[in-house]
Chain A
Amino acid sequence: MSDLVVDVLTGAVRGGTAIMFAALGETIAERAGVVNLGTEGSMLVGALGGYALAAETGSPWVGLVAGALAGGLLALVHAVMVVWRRSDQFATGLTVMFLGLGLTSLFGAAYVGRAAPGFDPVPVPLLADVPVLGEILFQHDPVTYLSFAAAPLLWWWLRSTRGGLLLRTAGERADVLHVHGYRPGLIRGAAVVAGGALAGIGGAQLATAYAHAWFEGMTAGRGFIAVALVIFAAWRPLWVMAGSYLFGAALALAPALQARGESLNQFALDALPFLITLAILAILGRRTLRAAPEELRRVFT
């Protein structure tokens, strides 16, 4: 039994990392007042960009950078549309998702079935041998270790730096920025692009560290999950981290049980992550909405 818990938690970290990067990216965009349903698309182009460049250059690190660039570039479309062309955020995001889906299957065919070097697990010396925690946390790929730092870093950056303050103000009181000679639009656009880049890193992690393959549509809704996570985490990076692992755990539960010969309804297990997310949203309810950045509340109500 305890061994099941360890497996599920290890799986939670393994499978939650890609979602976490995307969700942290979405946190940045939403703190600046923009919802990006195109996160799913940014993850996809990141996955293809990451895998393709790893295959072409032989270095998964180059792939990771390419994934970030690709994800950011697709998010730029969303930024331009939403911030400067004032189009609707939900509809544009969904369209950007379709664009990412179309472009990646158009240009990704060549990389299906092609081998590419990826990130392999690197156990952290000493820590990896700590009972229980070592297996859950310290026997992963390098990108997963980066993700451990990403959420606290973002938390600190948003809280304690001038850049973080500007970003938050763009999401809360854009007119204040305006008075002080800043351009809220520019800050928002940059936030959306940075968010897309993080989603791209998530996609690249999925393709080059977790699945070690590229296939069209391989993100399978993880980008949408990321968007939902940000809301139930009330736009706080550390909660996003926890939420990503919770979702990863829900995903990891089915295979962990099945590999032990436990039979639970396949479709009920598949629905579980979504039901858990819904339940948490329902429980937290108004508390999350009160935490929403002011500009976002306009989008959401």
Chain B
Amino acid sequence: MAHFVKKVLTDIRSNRFLNLITIITISLSILVVSVFLLFFENASRVIESWNQGGRAMIYLNKEFSLDMLPKLKVKIKTLGDIDEIVYISKAQALDKLKKNMSSQSAFLKTLKENPLPDALEIRMRSYNSFEEVQKFAQSIKALEIVEDVEYGQGWLGRFLQIFNLFKITGYAMCTLFFLIALFITANTVRLAFYSRKLEIEIMRLVGATETFIKTPFYIEGLLQGFLGGTLGLIILLITYLMISSGMTQSLASYMYFDVRFLSVKTIVLIIVGSTFLGWFGCYLSLKQILK
């Protein structure tokens, strides 16, 4: 093994430029893939958190009276997977509004009548899809006593549309960059192989097995893949840290979630994937050359 490692390091040194280009190509491909994964991970977390602790407000119309509440709660519970229903009277809602508006609440004192409706705040258990939530909201809205249901349908719908669009673009980009990196790696191996043609011919003549001849190429491919993947992740981490440190606290507070870096599992997966990419490029190239 020491012989192979020594040989690989010598080969990398003698083909520095070629190896550097390959590592940079792999790192850029990994960077693109990682950016998408970073987005997917964070977006999935938002969706998951919404799914797990999602709230919706049911605004009731003027015909509502407190004695209708028990029956209404039962009815709503039959329509979907509800964790909790809290009744908020219009008086409570006004108090809450006054507290929230604090200094600007003076004008609220001038109101002759409370304009806010009675409401039910419901906490839903997890849902599999936005369509399911939408269907549930529509079934509640169909109730006579319900004026409106608010569940963030506008932003969530748009968010899911963008998310799905990014998902498709992400898959396409990842496939494209994977193929580019694979092509470059395979070509580097091919060039390295041809530059060592005499060496390989001599190796064969002195009784070297095919495994002995191929192993350094595979190690080189694995190393290129590993280094390319690591470099791509380092670039992403630096970019992430620069952006997140530049983001002010006030801006962060406007966001409903914090952007987190890739999980350890994903990082390991990316490095394993890029290492495999290096190996696979080498495998394809050698298979073609030695057939």
Chain A partners chain B: no
Partner-A contacts on B (CB < 8 A): none
Partner-B contacts on A (CB < 8 A): none
